Amino acid sequence: MDDRQREIAEIARLVREHLEWEAGLQGAGIPFWEAELGSEAEAEPETVAAAPIPDVPIARSPIAASVTASPIAAPPAAAAPVIASPTPEPVRISLPVPERIARLRVLADGAATCTLCRLHESRTHSVFARGNVEAEIAFVGEGPGANEDEQGLPFVGPAGQLLDKMIGAMGFDRDDVYVCNVVKCRPPENRTPQADEAAACDRYLTPQLETVGPKVIVALGRVAAESLGCAEPGRSWRGMWGSWRGIPVMPTYHPAFLLRSPEMKRPVWEDLQKVLGRIGRTPPSRSG
Ligand code: SF4
């Protein structure tokens, strides 16, 4: 296949994706969860900066060195999303549920008393995870906000409520999926986690995700995408398939960013539909 043929094939793929996406909207023109938000879209986010900042170069590796300098969300992708070449077989630990729970409990207990980075100094509670330990989909955010720090659970504030709607629009209950963050303790003033903090907390994140072994990971925001090695220097990242230890990763905008930029819900919904496609599902009908 020459360049011209490849270009035509790519255009055909994009048109097909768009038509599939339109079909998924079932005439609504907007994602289901967008119509339900109403005034909540004006709520204050908990864990992100007020506005995106430009991309900065990073090293492409898990827990990238410049994770601190990057925003949780970036301007819309300039390039069309491209599905990466086939990834290697995921490295999964297939444990019975009780063993998964036990293993995760050990990790959570470790995080609760952890002093490996400075974030422990101001935390009320560490925030480990919520959800199904056998989930098909794991959502990975940046770090706990004020509500999460207070309750010890991830995504329980306005951003969490929006995430739950996104999950519901995908046809899942909030407890069907697994939800966690890159860092388990709240960064002061909701600042972006620093590189050494994310690196320190990887001792929890990596075994956590390995234990759950989801079919797909959704990285919520650029920090999560970078931490999972799925955002490249100076390049668009949202909607671009990546891979973490063989598990496909879809990086998309953080729900807290969507609270401030509701116009970005449409591309996020496109990303979530790709995730559904990856696990052989389609969005539920609005009537169903
Ligand atoms: Fe430990 Fe992670 Fe909390 Fe830092 S953020 S103190 S590494 S649990």
Looking at residues 245-271, what average pLDDT do you find?
97
pLDDT for 62:
30
Q: Is 116 in the pocket of ligand 1 (CB under 6 A)?
A: yes
Q: Is 180 in the pocket of ligand 1 (CB under 6 A)?
A: no
Q: Which residues contact 109 (CB under 8 A, 6 or more apart)?
A: none
Atom of ligand 1 nearest to the CA of 183: 5
Q: How many angstroms does the Cα of residue 91 sit away from the middle of ligand 1?
A: 25
Q: Please name the CATH architecture into which domain 97-278 falls.
A: 3-Layer(aba) Sandwich (3.40)
Distance CA 183, CA 198 (A): 6
Q: Is 126 in the pocket of ligand 1 (CB under 6 A)?
A: yes
pLDDT for 90:
53
Looking at residues 153-169, what average pLDDT do you find?
97
Q: Is the pLDDT of residue 43 over 90?
A: no
pLDDT for 132:
98
Q: Is the pLDDT of residue 28 over 60?
A: no
Instruction: Tell me which of 58 and 177 has the higher pLDDT.
Output: 177
The band of 114, judged by pLDDT with boundaries at 50, 70 and 90, is very high
164, 175 in Cβ contact below 8 A?
Answer: no
At residue 180, φ and ψ (nearest 5 deg) are: -150, -175
Looking at residues 137-165, what average pLDDT do you find?
97
Q: Is 208 in the pocket of ligand 1 (CB under 6 A)?
A: no
pLDDT in tens, 184-243: 999 999 999 999 999 999 999 999 999 999 999 999 999 999 999 999 767 899 999 999
pLDDT in tens, 131-148: 999 999 999 999 999 999
What residues are paired with 181 via a beta bridge? 141
Q: Is 162 in the pocket of ligand 1 (CB under 6 A)?
A: no
pTM of this prediction exceeds 0.85: no
Instruction: Tell me which of 89 and 135 has the higher pLDDT.
Output: 135
pLDDT for 91:
53
The sign of the dihedral angle between the CA atoms of 132, 242, 279, 37 is: positive
Q: Is the pLDDT of residue 168 over 90?
A: yes
Mean pLDDT for the chain?
A: 78
Distance CA 114, CA 184 (A): 10
Rounded to a whole number of angstroms, the CA Rg of the chain reads 18
The band of 74, judged by pLDDT with boundaries at 50, 70 and 90, is very low
Looking at residues 48-70, what average pLDDT do you find?
30
SS3 of 24-80: the string is HHCCCCCCHHHHCCHHHHHCCCCCCCCCCCCCCCCCCCCCCCCHHHCCCCCCCCCCC
pLDDT for 83:
35
Q: Is 197 in the pocket of ligand 1 (CB under 6 A)?
A: yes
Q: Among candidates 108, 72, 88, which has minimal Cα distance to 212?
A: 108
Half-sphere exposure of 25 (CA within 13 A, CB side): 17
pLDDT for 92:
59
Q: Is 201 in the pocket of ligand 1 (CB under 6 A)?
A: yes
Q: Is the pLDDT of residue 284 over 70?
A: yes
Half-sphere exposure of 201 (CA within 13 A, CB side): 34
- Residue with the nearest Cα to atom 7 of ligand 1? 201
The band of 94, judged by pLDDT with boundaries at 50, 70 and 90, is confident
How is the chain split into domains, by residue range? 3-66, 97-278
- Residue with the nearest Cα to atom 3 of ligand 1? 185
